[in-house]
Amino acid sequence: MRGLTRAAKRAGEMAFNAGGGTVNWFPGHMAAASRAIRDRLKLADLVIEVRDARIPLSSANEDLQPVLSAKRRILALSKKDLANPNIMNRWLNHFESCKKDCISINAHSSSSVNQLLGLAELKLKEAILKEPTLLIMVVGVPNVGKSALINSIHRIANSRFPVNDKIKRATVGPLPGVTQDIAGYKIASQPSIYVLDTPGVLVPSIPDMETGLKLALTGAVKDSVVGEERIAKYLLSILNIRKTPLHWERLLHRREELHEEICSLNENDSRDSLRRRRVNNSDAVYVQVLSLISKSNE
């Protein structure tokens, strides 16, 4: 994690951390939901805590950690398709060293969600034999993919254990705060297993501005709460720290080379040949650069 520490230090020197002030976004529904979640947690047989794989520490609700640590828990690092796989594997090793069951997932991938269900079944192995009804709670900060995960679990479970009840879908959306009420969904019978989708809940006040900026960049906090200009500056500072402009410079250089190559083609070259050469080269550049600049980490 040495490179991450250097990046955090550089960002701190840019005043995104020290003296940046607190981030406050705690709507009324969030306060009510926080109380309701604490009450339901007492009854839960298993808790799936969903965090953003790109910011696995910043996307934890610190207020709930004492309660969650006392329960059967799985840490699900969601949106793994958006995270740097090398860094993410180091986070998985970190949580494993802390004796925490952790798995990275893509909530829209059946194979990924099946792996999570396999781990959940293992954690509930004894309870399944003893209890007629089991309750699984899915918790996390806003917009980390809880409802998308719920829908995938429900779809997979219904294909395995068809039930007569009409399938309900959890509401999902690109902005934080879509889910505002706790909703229960039956996913299996004998024993009856219910999964609870909960609203995303933050701490009432985020004292660390950089944490707030990370949450805003990943969609857990509304942009207007932190400030669009501040978010843009923070993103640019991170890109500069990671030398991303060098990748853009390389892209520009490659495009210039490609343009010169196309201009130098003989007039007798067929249109199909021209199109083929342009698509192959530009696509290669596009994919290469996107893979470099789109992967973010904690």
Q: Work out the end-to-end distance of the chain between its first and last CA atoms, rounded to an integer number of angstroms.
A: 10
| Residue carrying the six token digits 């740097």 | 84
162: which DSSP letter? -
Q: Give the CB-side neighbour count of residue 131, counting CA atoms within 13 A.
A: 15
What is the spatial order of strands in the sheet that 183-188 belongs to?
102-104, 73-78, 46-52, 133-139, 192-197, 183-188
Residue 191 contacts residue 130 (beta carbons within 8 Å): no
Element (H, E) at 39: helix 28-41
174: preceding bond cis by omega (within 30 degrees):
no
Q: Is 200 annotated as a binding residue?
A: yes
Determine the distance from the C-alpha atom of residue 267 to the mean position of all C-alpha atoms in its chain, rounded to a whole number.
50
Binding-site sequence positions for GTP: 200
Q: Binding site: residue ranges? A: 200
